[in-house]
Amino acid sequence: MPGGRSVDQEKLNQFLGKFVGDLGACAHGATVLLGERLGLYKAMADGKEMSAAELAHQTGTHERNILEWLSAQAVSGYVSYNDKTGRFFLSAEQAFTLADDTSPAYLPGAFQLISSVWKDEPRIVEAFRSGKGLGWDARHTDLFAGTDKFFRPGYVANLVSAWLPALDGVVDKLTRGASVADIGCGQGSSTLLMAQAYPNSRFVGYDYHEGSIIAARAAAKKAGLSARVEFNVGTAQAYPGTDFDLVAFFDCLHDMGDPAAAAKHVHRSLKADGTWMVVEPFAGESLSENMNPVSRVFYSASTMICVPASLAQEGALGLGAQTSEKKLRELATGAGFGKFRRATETHFNRVFEARP
C-alpha cells in the first residue's frame, strides 16, 4: 500500500459491495430510459405476465434485446419474474411508479435528468478547472425535459394539497383571485398546476432559459390555460411586474448567481401583505446532518448541475442544493423580509414562507 498503510479486508469488502451496488445502479439507469422511450413499462402496465416475444411484438421491438432488458429489470427489481413460467410482469407498485406518467410517484424522469450530466461531463470538467461554471441554459436538453418530468409528480402530490395551504392566508387569496409570479419556472408544471386549481387567479412564469419558456407556453396551450397564464423570458433579479400576492421559487434559488439580488427584487415586486414561497431541496444545517441517501442525491446533482449553474451567472455565489435554513433565512431577512419560516416539508423538499 502507498505510504505503508494497511488495508482492513472486511472494510475493503464492505466498500466493494457498496461499489457494485452503485455501478449496477448507474448501468441500470440507462435501461430505465429505454423502458420509457420504447413504451416497455407502459405495455406491461396491466400486470399480466408476458414473455419477451409478446412484449417485443406489442412494442415493435427486437425480441433478443427485450429478453436482455427484461432480465436486467428483474435483477434490479424494476420488473417481477415468475421463474415457474419464465414470464415477466409489473407489480402494482412497479406499474404505479414506472408505467403511469400521471402518477404522483412517476420515476423515470429522474434518470433522464441524471443522464444529462454524463452527457455534459466533459464540459463540467472544464468548468471545474476554469471556475467559470456551466449555465443551466447551456445544458443538454435532457436536463430540461428530465427535470420537469421528475419534479412534476412531486408537485402533483403536494403543491395544491399541502404546500399552498401551509402558507398563511394564501389559499383564500388564490380562491378569490390573486396575482402570482412563478420565477425560475422551467417548463411551467408548477405554474400550470396552480392555475388549474385556482381559476380566478392570474399567473405569470419567468425563466431565463428561453427553451424552457417555449416548452411552458406549449404546455399552457395544451392545457387550455393560455388566457390566464403567461410565460416570459426574464431573470429573477429583474422580472417585470409589481403588486404580486404570491411569488414562488421552485427549486431554483440555489441555482442563481445572485440570490440576494433576486430576494431583494421579490421584495420590491410583492404587495405589502404578499408572500414569497421558496421551495428548496431537503437538507439539514450541516454536512454532518446530511449524511443520508437523499442528500447524497442532492450533493451529487449539485456538484454536476447547481453549483456550476450558479457560478456561470453574475454574482457566482454557488449556494448549492444543500443550503442550510440558516443561510436561506439570512438571505431573506437581508433582502428586507420581516418574517421567514419553514411552512412545511417532505422527504425531498423544504417549503419556506417569507413575508415583507
Ligand X SMILES: C[S@@+](CC[C@H](N)C(=O)[O-])C[C@H]1O[C@@H](n2cnc3c(N)ncnc32)[C@H](O)[C@@H]1O
Stretch that binds ligand X, among 60-68, 126-134, 221-229, 249-257 (CB under 6 A): 249-257
- Taking the CB of residue 161, how many other CB atoms lie within 10 A of it? 11
CA distance 21 to 323: 28
CB 347 within 8 A of CB 334: no
CA separation for the pair 240, 230 (Å, rounded): 13
| Binding of ligand X by 110 (CB under 6 A) | no
| Pairing mode of beta strands 80-82, 87-89 | antiparallel
Residue 173 interacts with ligand X (CB under 6 A)?
no
Q: Calculate the CA 232 to chain-centre distance.
A: 21
> Considering only residues 36, 120, 207, 353, which one is a binding residue for ligand X as defined by CB under 6 A?
207
Instruction: Mark the segment that binds ligand X (CB under 6 A) among 31-39, 50-58, 145-153, 289-297.
Output: 145-153
Query: How many residues at the interface with ligand X, by CB under 6 A?
Result: 22
Q: Does 252 bind ligand X (CB under 6 A)?
A: yes
Chosen residue from 108, 186, 274, 308 binding ligand X by CB under 6 A: 186
CB of 194 to ligand X, least distance (A): 12
112 touches ligand X (CB under 6 A):
no
CB of 236 to ligand X, least distance (A): 4
Taking CA atoms, 331 is separated from 83, 95, 101, 310, in Å, by 57, 42, 36, 15
Residue 234 beta carbon to ligand X: minimum distance, rounded to whole angstroms: 7
Decide if residue 235 touches ligand X (CB under 6 A): yes
Considering only 120, 142, 148, 280, the residue that binds ligand X (CB under 6 A) is 148
Q: How far is CA 170 from CA 18, 94, 193, 254, in A?
A: 46, 36, 15, 24
Contact of 319 with 253, CB cutoff 8 Å: yes
Under rule CB under 6 A, residue 203 binds ligand X: no
**Which CB atom, from 32 or from 143, has the smaller least distance to ligand X?**
143
